[in-house]
Amino acid sequence: MEGFKTVAVVKMPKVNLDKTWSKSSTRTFQRTLTQLRQRGVDKCATALQQALYNSLESNTWSWPRNTVRVNGSVAGTTRDIYDTGGLYASQKLNISHQVTQSKLTITYSAPYASLVHYGGYIRPYGNKNANTVLIPARPWVEAILNGSHGQDKVDISKILLDTIRTGLGDFVI
């Protein structure tokens, strides 16, 4: 099995650069815009990362049935996608900037991350003699990016726009 990876893209808002400005004023404006962009994308990353952590811990993704262990006993507590914390701890969020957009790459390195997110069929414990079991999809990342499954959307475009507007005011279109 592989981990899970997806990319959230946030586009730069349009800004009104006055063509009558001096070269010095233009450079100052561009430098300020770049700093605001970096600050805004950092805010996006922080909000997104916290929302993903919260989503993993939410009751939305409770396991819908009993868990039977290898020895045949039933797990004493209700399990969820947080469970042992391995999936939670495997999260990485990387930022890359391009001219017109920034990308936030969300990665979960836990080998079962894609199975948890998309669901699928498995043979418990790799036992070829066991019946296949359906693992239901619990798309916590999609839920945060789109605002579904009872999870609030993290609107990274709005976070970036608000940060740049705070710094530049009426120059943002």
Q: What string of pLDDT tens digits covers the 173 residues of the chain?
A: 579 999 999 999 888 888 888 999 889 888 999 999 999 999 999 999 999 999 999 888 877 677 776 677 777 666 678 878 899 999 999 999 998 999 999 999 999 999 999 999 988 877 888 889 888 899 999 999 999 999 999 999 999 999 998 988 766 65
What local confidence, expressed as pLDDT, does residue 87 receive? 93
What local confidence, expressed as pLDDT, does residue 104 receive? 97
What local confidence, expressed as pLDDT, does residue 76 receive? 63
Most distant CA atoms of the chain, gap in Å: 77
pTM: 0.84
Q: Tell me phi and psi for residue 135, to 5 degrees.
A: -95, 115
Q: Tell me phi and psi for residue 39, to 5 degrees.
A: -65, -45
What local confidence, expressed as pLDDT, does residue 79 receive? 65
What local confidence, expressed as pLDDT, does residue 73 receive? 79
What does the CA dihedral 107, 112, 118, 123 come to, rounded to 10 degrees?
170
What local confidence, expressed as pLDDT, does residue 103 receive? 97
Q: Which two tokens stand for residue 101?
A: 């957009």
